[in-house]
Copies of this chain bind each other. A is one copy, B any other.
Amino acid sequence: MGVTIHDVARAAGVSVASASRALSGRRKVTPEIAERVARAAAELGYQPNAVAKALRDQTTGTIGMVVPGIGNPFFTTIVEAVERELQNSGTDLLLCASQYSPQVEARRLETLLARRVDGLIISPCDIEASVPAVLDAARRVPLVQVDRYIEGGGADWVGVDDEAGLALAVEHVIAGGARSVVFAGSRLESSSARLRLSGYERTAARAGVEVLPPLLGAFTLEWGVEAGRRLLDAGRLPDAVVCANDEIAVGLVRSLRFGGARVPEDVAVVGFDDVGHATMCDPPLSTVRQPVEEMASEAVRLLGQVKAGDPRPAQRIAIAPRLVVRQTSRPVAAGTAEEEQRGEAG
């Protein structure tokens, strides 16, 4: 460690200013000096100290990203997409998981700000408890929310149109003949959880099918299993279950089939997200696809425009999802919904 630009300058027999200029090319130097500096830098294996540069430039070339958890394939997919998006822009990503805890989330934001990230992308874990920390952060650096958001509208957001997504799912199962539709979702701690529930409720009401009490737990496979068990215990199964994400749906399918129900013959199941292992489920899962790449590139683009504490009204960009029909729901007449045959083993 520790070959500095002073060492390079000395080795090349020039001043640090010349060395810096030769290396950065931000001001002309004679070819002779350029050459000597380049050689000296190469010989010494000089690598600029990004910490010093960051201090001087007041910019770190990093952006922070905080998601509830990287165990959830939906978030890892977003993270990967954001990373790809940042790939060649020279900015690095500092990734943090809040572990679904507003306290941890606040701490992580704190240290990211202390490290002077140039911007933040966050999916706030709790729609209420996350508010102060997120708004505070938004006041200090450009911040964009992705997927989940907090209410109170201080910060930009990009995500899928959750209500529209649930509408697609509900309309699809109704078109397939379902007369009773249950919603299996998560406790209403996030915007996604709330909007997906309300999307279900509205669409069901509009379509004239009964709005049944929702099953609310967590966005996990385990909760899906449990939800399926409850449906089985209740005696009469609904014609269809629409789920707030794929993990719940996969657990639900397993649980229902374990209990002897046939999917989709006895009960249709539709998930949400279409990332990770939706195709790996048996049978492959019908689901609502989130346009993750688009969300990521939109988020990065937006981040470039946002200024910290900008009084401009916060933007909300809701991207339309699309339905992917596989085998846990009855296909409907061609043209009504998109058909997909990905995911089967053969």
- CA A49 to CA B113, docked complex, whole Å: 9
A334 on interface, CB distance cutoff 8 Å: no
24 contacts between A and B (CB under 8 A): A1-B308, A47-B114, A49-B55, A49-B116, A50-B116, A51-B55, A51-B115, A55-B55, A69-B80, A70-B70, A70-B79, A70-B80, A71-B73, A80-B97, A83-B97, A92-B94, A95-B95, A221-B280, A229-B346, A251-B280, A254-B282, A255-B345, A258-B344, A277-B277
Q: Which of A230-257 contact B (CB under 8 A)?
A: 250-251, 254-255, 257
A-B pairs, top 7 by smallest CB distance, nearest first, are A258-B345, A50-B114, A95-B95, A255-B345, A254-B345, A50-B115, A51-B54
Closest residue on chain B to residue A282 by CB atoms: B282
Given known A71-B76, A97-B80, contact A277–B114 (CB-CB < 8 A): no
A315 on interface, CB distance cutoff 8 Å: no
- CA A80 to CA B344, docked complex, whole Å: 31
- B-chain residues with CB within 8 Å of residue A94 when the two chains form the complex: 92, 94-95
A225 on interface, CB distance cutoff 8 Å: yes
- CA A71 to CA B110, docked complex, whole Å: 27
A228 on interface, CB distance cutoff 8 Å: yes
State the Cβ distance, A307 to closest chain B Cβ, in Å.
11
- B-chain residues with CB within 8 Å of residue A71 when the two chains form the complex: 73, 76-77, 80, 276
Q: Is the CB of B228 within 8 A of A345?
A: yes
State the Cβ distance, A250 to closest chain B Cβ, in Å.
6
A60 on interface, CB distance cutoff 8 Å: yes
Given known A52-B55, A70-B80, contact A346–B1 (CB-CB < 8 A): no
Q: Is the CB of B70 within 8 A of A76?
A: yes
Which range holds the interface residue count of chain A? 35 or more
A132 on interface, CB distance cutoff 8 Å: no
- CA A345 to CA B52, docked complex, whole Å: 55
A177 on interface, CB distance cutoff 8 Å: no
Q: Hey, what's the 0/1 contact readout for A192-207 against B, CB within 8 Å counting as 1?
A: 0000000000000000
Q: Is the CB of A111 within 8 A of B52?
A: no
State the Cβ distance, A229 to closest chain B Cβ, in Å.
7
State the Cβ distance, A206 to closest chain B Cβ, in Å.
34
- B-chain residues with CB within 8 Å of residue A92 when the two chains form the complex: 94, 96, 111, 115
A48 on interface, CB distance cutoff 8 Å: yes
A140 on interface, CB distance cutoff 8 Å: yes
- B-chain residues with CB within 8 Å of residue A153 when the two chains form the complex: none
Q: Hey, what's the 0/1 contact readout for A12-41 against B, CB within 8 Å counting as 1?
A: 000000000000000000000000000000
Q: Is the CB of A50 within 8 A of B111?
A: yes
A304 on interface, CB distance cutoff 8 Å: no
- B-chain residues with CB within 8 Å of residue A55 when the two chains form the complex: 49, 51-52, 55
Closest residue on chain B to residue A111 by CB atoms: B92
| Contact residue among B1, B76, B345 (Cβ-Cβ distance under 8 Å from A259) | B345
| Contact residue among B54, B70, B254 (Cβ-Cβ distance under 8 Å from A280) | B254
- CA A265 to CA B51, docked complex, whole Å: 60
